[in-house]
């Protein structure tokens, strides 16, 4: 993340190092508020707007991925930039499984003369563990 910031001409400040550390030390999804809460413990004067702006810019840069959870809103996670894949995401526990199959590799009949530059594909559902827990709770 720091290399991408530097390559894009960003100054590598202590706050940005902390932001990179937050994502490198966390495997899960973080809401802007989660990141703000972490940052404000170390930097009490940091604003939510500054944190959010940095998250959006890092997402546009490709080092963070954005996901929208129906109940949890917008969340971010470090990008898996080493290869192309897609995600199965549990809406209960947010456990994520990757799959290599890409639906975009199939011949799509898109409207108009549309040239695709990039895409994302996430499937939201309930993982096997959460399904078993739900069944046990009903019994």
Domains of the chain (ranges; CATH) run 1-81 (1.10.10.10), 83-139 (3.30.1490.190)
Assess whether pLDDT exceeds 80 at residue 83: no
pLDDT band at 81; cut points 50, 70, 90: low
Q: Is 62 within 8 Å of 4 (Cβ atoms)?
A: yes
* Alpha carbon 15 to chain centroid, angstroms: 20
Per-residue pLDDT of 27-80, as tens digits, reads 778 999 999 999 999 999 999 999 999 999 888 887 888 888 777 788 888 876
Assess whether pLDDT exceeds 70 at residue 82: no
Q: Is 89 within 8 Å of 70 (Cβ atoms)?
A: no
The CA-atom distances, in angstroms, between 131 and each of 23, 95, 122, 126 are 28, 13, 19, 6
Q: Looking at residue 98, what is its pLDDT?
A: 77
Q: Looking at residue 132, what is its pLDDT?
A: 92
How far is Cα 96 from Cα 105, in angstroms, rounded to an integer? 22
Nearest to 40 by CA among 21, 10, 15, 57: 15
Q: Looking at residue 62, what is its pLDDT?
A: 79
Assess whether pLDDT exceeds 90 at residue 124: no
Per-residue pLDDT of 89-123, as tens digits, reads 888 888 877 777 777 777 777 788 777 777 777 78
């Amino acid at each position: 993340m720091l290399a991408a910031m530097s390559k894009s001409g960003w100054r590598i400040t202590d706050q940005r190092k902390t932001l990179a550390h937050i994502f490198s030390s966390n495997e899960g999804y973080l809401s802007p508020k989660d990141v703000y809460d972490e940052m404000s413990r170390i930097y009490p004067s940091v604003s939510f707007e500054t944190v959010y702006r940095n998250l959006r810019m890092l997402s546009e840069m490709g080092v963070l991925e954005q996901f929208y959870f129906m109940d949890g809103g917008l969340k971010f996670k470090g990008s898996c930039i080493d290869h192309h894949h897609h995600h199965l995401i549990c809406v209960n526990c947010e456990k994520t499984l990757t799959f290599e199959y890409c639906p975009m590799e199939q011949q799509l009949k898109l409207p108009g003369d549309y040239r695709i530059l990039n895409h994302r594909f996430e499937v939201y559902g309930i993982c096997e563990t959460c399904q078993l827990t739900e069944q046990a709770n009903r019994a």
